[in-house]
Structure 1
């Protein structure tokens, strides 16, 4: 799998299968677990948070460099995703993203006044795309039997 288009597709397919990662501003040491919602056609991730979180307050009036880190050996994706994070007021997008998980965090549901939508415009993603946990075990066993280094997949930086 070396074609850039195939790597982009594998990245999005695996990212769609994950439901969370660690999100933070690039110049901050504090990263927090956040559920992401993918928008592959636009090259964006979306997040639903509360207006009073440190992250949302840090974005007030500005777009900032941010990172979203995802790791899942079962899905075979490890990635450091970099881009720009901003506050967005888009009721239609919020309606599109709203789900049972998001509703668990807001007392007044979809119309809670504390809801804040975040848009993450992806610039690059340094990715390790592997065959997943079963393929990893196979490659390790094969390397022990043959003495060859295990083939653990593709390591590439994708541009968006």
Structure 2
């Protein structure tokens, strides 16, 4: 995934964590008001705090973004390193062939067999309004020892840093 230097310096930590995780669960709201999530591969985090994805023009998520005020959530999780990012933002579909060309990669051909000129291929961009992260800087062994100590002492373990970031 490509990342660019952030205009908002607070977003750099978010960008770095997303770059390492890459797959997000994108949550939208369907016609009945249900929350619906699906995995999406982040392609780029640009300097404005926008996360870019490929999607299909006829995907239900595109209709959900258009009809439900475009508010979405992205959840990134790296369970092995105990790093998590939750992004609240606004989504928009975009048919921009130059941006598709810029972001195209060989793995996308699995989803879009006709290539970057596939008429079903459009972009989904999510602008970050607020993000919260949990970052454990410790190894799994240290985290296990901290949890064991917490079980004995009854005091919650300190499991890394947690911060909300606004764009």
- Interval of TM-score (by shorter of Structure 1 and Structure 2): 0.7 to 0.9
Q: Is the counterpart of residue 99 in structure 1 residue 105 in structure 2?
A: yes
- State the Cα RMSD in Å: 2.5
The count of corresponding residues between Structure 1 and Structure 2 is 154
Contact 1:77 1:129 in 2 (8 A): yes
- In 1: Cα distance, 2:91 partner to 2:66 partner: 11
Report the alpha carbon displacement of residue 139 of structure 1 after superposing the two structures with TM: 3.2
Report the alpha carbon displacement of residue 36 of structure 1 after superposing the two structures with TM: 0.9
* Aligned match of 1:48: 54
Long gaps (5+) in structure 1: none
Q: Which moved more, 1:17-26 or 1:120-129?
A: 17-26
Report the alpha carbon displacement of residue 8 of structure 1 after superposing the two structures with TM: 3.5
Contact 1:126 1:155 in 2 (8 A): yes
- In 1: Cα distance, 2:80 partner to 2:126 partner: 25
* Aligned match of 1:138: 142
What per-residue deviation string (whole Å, max 9, x for no partner) do you get for residues 52-101 of structure 1?
Answer: 11001223488510011111033442122100000112112111111122
- In 2: Cα distance, 1:41 partner to 1:75 partner: 26
* Aligned match of 1:18: 21
Contact 2:43 2:53 in 1 (8 A): yes
Contact 2:22 2:76 in 1 (8 A): no
Long gaps (5+) in structure 2: 1-7
Contact 1:83 1:124 in 2 (8 A): yes
* Aligned match of 1:123: 129
* Aligned match of 1:155: 162
- In 1: Cα distance, 2:73 partner to 2:147 partner: 34
* Aligned match of 1:37: 43
* Aligned match of 2:3: none
- In 1: Cα distance, 2:165 partner to 2:130 partner: 5
- With structure 1 as the length reference, what TM-score do the two structures score? 0.82
Contact 2:143 2:159 in 1 (8 A): yes
Contact 1:63 1:87 in 2 (8 A): no
